[in-house]
């Protein structure tokens, strides 16, 4: 990111009839434009930013005669989705968090434009009444900006590959993810809207399947585990055909804890999928006995036939409403940062 360069000051003198010694009248150059990053609810991802590596604001124009100031460069505002963490990379290579854009139209100044140069009118003195010097505009501030996207959702569905997360998302919301009988059909987070409540809509997300060692980058890795940090409720979706359901649940907890221990404090619901299959129905009593000691709510559903899906959705919305206050406090990042609010010149 680079702010616009300031315009140069002008060397000029008054040339008017009957005024032989008009004196200097060169104007100042305009300031360069600033670069802002602003969160917008209408932006869903960072796909458009991947096509460009450099963003530069408009340069200021050169000053004019008659002490006229040059035009200020237009500011550049880059729109990003809510949930973006803006960091600046220092010359030492260390990253410093400068803003966490979690609300609509919240913005941060990331590259300041250069100041315009002074015209020769500012250099006139009693000794030198006709100065032929002016100052150049300052270059704009140039920074290496790092954007990290963390989804802000109400509910997040996590589970192992091929456990039926996409099918559940399509059954519980208006999203249309790809559903197939092979693992890793989901390769990026998918959002849906759950609108069963009369109060408000709930944003629900599905992240790619988690495998053992995901916190170290295995499988699709922790690239998507970071999206779990800002959700208010977790739905653990387990495959009912798995012979070790209780162990699968423990491993999911372990992966989240190894990635970030705070995730274990989030409200959770366990959903056992594919209970409509005959082989699952025959061992359903054993599954229930193995999960009886769990203190979190447990639902037995079928995402394909929608069995138990609405009950699960209602319970999820209820728990989100109950945990609203405490979760909002946890959404505040522990790292202190500064948000710059530029003010217009008087």
- Note whether 213 and 219 are within 8 A (CB): yes
Whether pTM > 0.75 for this model: the answer is no
In a domain, 247, yes or no: yes
Q: Is 52 helix (H, G, I), strand (E, B) or coil?
A: coil
Instruction: Give the domain range for residue 274.
Output: 155-330
CATH number of the domain at 121, please.
Answer: 2.70.210.12
Q: Specify which of 9-23, 100-114, 167-181, 316-330 reaches the highest per-range mean pLDDT.
A: 100-114
Residue 167 lies in a domain: yes
Identify which has the larger pLDDT, 252 or 344: 252
Query: What pLDDT band is residue 344 in, cutting at 50, 70 and 90?
Result: low
Write phi, then psi, for 14 (nearest 5 degrees). Answer: -70, 130
| Model pLDDT, residue 337 | 46
For residue 335, is it within any domain? Answer: no
* Residue 168 and residue 253 share a domain: yes
Kind of pairing, strands 84-89 and 95-101? antiparallel
Q: Say yes or no: 139 and 176 in one domain.
A: no
Asked if the structure places residue 16 within a domain, the reply is: no
Asked whether residue 191 is assigned to any structural domain, the reply reads yes
pLDDT of residue 207: 80
Asked, for residue 103, whether it belongs to a domain, the answer is: yes
> Among 270, 279, 276, 277, which residue's Cα sits nearest to residue 299?
270
* 65-97: pLDDT as tens digits: 898 999 999 999 999 888 888 988 887 778 888
> Model confidence over 134-170: pLDDT tens digits?
999 999 999 998 888 777 788 888 888 888 888 888 8
Looking at the structure, do residues 190 and 130 belong to the same domain, yes or no? no
Same domain, 202 and 120: no
| CA gap 305, 308 in Å, rounded | 9
What are the tens digits of pLDDT across the range 59-72? 999 999 898 999 99
Q: Are residues 167 and 257 in the same domain?
A: yes
Cα-flanking dihedrals φ and ψ of residue 79, to 5°? -90, 135
pLDDT level of residue 346 (50, 70, 90 thresholds): low
Choose the most confident range, by mean pLDDT, from 117-126, 152-161, 200-209, 215-224: 117-126
Q: Please report the DSSP string for 266-307 in residue order.
A: S-EEEEEE-TTSHHHHHTHHHHHHHHTT--S-EEE-BTTTTB
Element (H, E) at 309: helix 309-322
Query: What confidence score (pLDDT) does residue 151 get?
Result: 74
CA atoms of 230 and 151, how far apart (whole Å): 6
Domain termination site, one of 105, 120, 149: 149
| 22, part of any domain | no
The 10s digit of each residue's pLDDT in 16-40 is: 888 877 889 999 999 999 999 999 8
Which CATH number covers residue 170? 3.40.50.300
The token pair at 237 is 């979706």
Average the pLDDT over 307-329 and give the result. Answer: 77
**How far apart are the C-alpha atoms of 342 and 112, rounded to whole Å?**
10
Kindly state whether residues 192 and 296 are assigned to the same domain: yes
Amino acid 16: pLDDT: 82
Do residue 94 and residue 198 come from a single domain?
no
Query: pLDDT band for position 224 (50/70/90)?
Result: low
Chain centroid to CA 198: 28
Q: Are residues 195 and 317 in the same domain?
A: yes
Amino acid 138: pLDDT: 94
Please tell me the total count of domains within the chain.
2
Among the listed residues 73, 74, 67, 77, the one whose alpha carbon sits nearest the alpha carbon of residue 134 = 67
Which residue stretches of 32-82 are H helix? none
Beta strands in 90-131 (DSSP E): 95-101, 107-111
Q: Which of 117, 149, 181 is the last residue of a domain?
A: 149
Element (H, E) at 252: helix 245-259
Residue 102, SS3 per DSSP? coil
Considering the domain architecture, whether residues 304 and 159 belong to the same structural domain is answered as yes
Question: What is the number of helices (H) and of strands (E) in the chain?
Answer: 6, 12
Contact predicate 31/6, CB 8 Å: yes
Q: Is residue 232 part of a domain?
A: yes
Domain boundary among 149, 179, 198: 149
Residue entry with tokens 């999820």: 316
CB atoms within 10 A of CB 47: 8
DSSP H or E run through 191: strand 190-194
Quick one: CA torsion of 194, 197, 201, 205, rounded to 10 degrees?
Answer: -30
Is 275 found in the same domain as 212? Answer: yes
Clarify whether residues 143 and 188 are in a common domain: no
Is there a single domain that holds both residue 164 and residue 282? yes
Say yes or no to pLDDT of 112 above 90. yes
């Amino acid at each position: 990111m680079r702010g616009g360069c300031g315009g140069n000051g002008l060397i000029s003198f008054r040339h008017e009839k009957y005024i032989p010694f008009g004196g200097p009248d060169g104007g100042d150059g305009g300031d360069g434009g600033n670069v802002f990053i602003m969160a917008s609810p209408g932006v869903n991802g960072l796909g458009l930013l991947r096509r460009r590596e450099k963003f530069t604001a408009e340069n200021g124009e050169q000053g004019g005669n008659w002490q006229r100031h040059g035009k200020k460069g237009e500011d550049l505002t880059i729109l990003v989705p809510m949930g973006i963490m803006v960091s600046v990379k220092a010359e030492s290579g260390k990253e410093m968090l400068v803003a966490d854009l979690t609300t609509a139209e919240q913005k941060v100044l990331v590259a300041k434009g250069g100041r315009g140069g002074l015209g020769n009118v500012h250099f006139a003195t009693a000794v030198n009444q006709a100065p032929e010097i002016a100052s150049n505009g300052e270059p704009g501030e140039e920074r290496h900006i790092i954007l990290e996207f963390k989804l802000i959702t109400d509910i997040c569905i996590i589970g192992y590959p091929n456990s039926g997360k996409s099918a559940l998302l399509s059954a519980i919301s208006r999203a249309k993810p790809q559903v197939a009988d092979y693992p890793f059909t989901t390769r990026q987070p998918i959002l849906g809207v759950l609108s069963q409540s009369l109060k408000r809509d709930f944003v629900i997300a599905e992240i790619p399947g988690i495998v053992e060692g995901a916190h170290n980058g295995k499988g699709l890795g922790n690239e998507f585990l970071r999206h779990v940090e800002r959700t208010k409720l977790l739905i653990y979706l387990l495959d009912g055909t798995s012979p070790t359901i209780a162990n699968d649940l423990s491993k999911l907890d372990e992966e989240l804890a190894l990635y970030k221990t705070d995730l274990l404090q989030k409200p959770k619901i366990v959903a056992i999928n594919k209970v409509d299959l005959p082989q699952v129905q025959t061992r359903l009593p054993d599954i229930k006995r193995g999960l009886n000691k769990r203190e979190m709510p447990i639902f037995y559903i079928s995402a394909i036939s929608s069995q138990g899906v609405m009950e699960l959705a209602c319970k999820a919305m209820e728990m989100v409403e109950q945990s609203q206050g405490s979760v909002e406090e946890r959404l505040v990042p522990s790292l202190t940062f500064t948000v710059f609010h530029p003010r217009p010149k008087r």
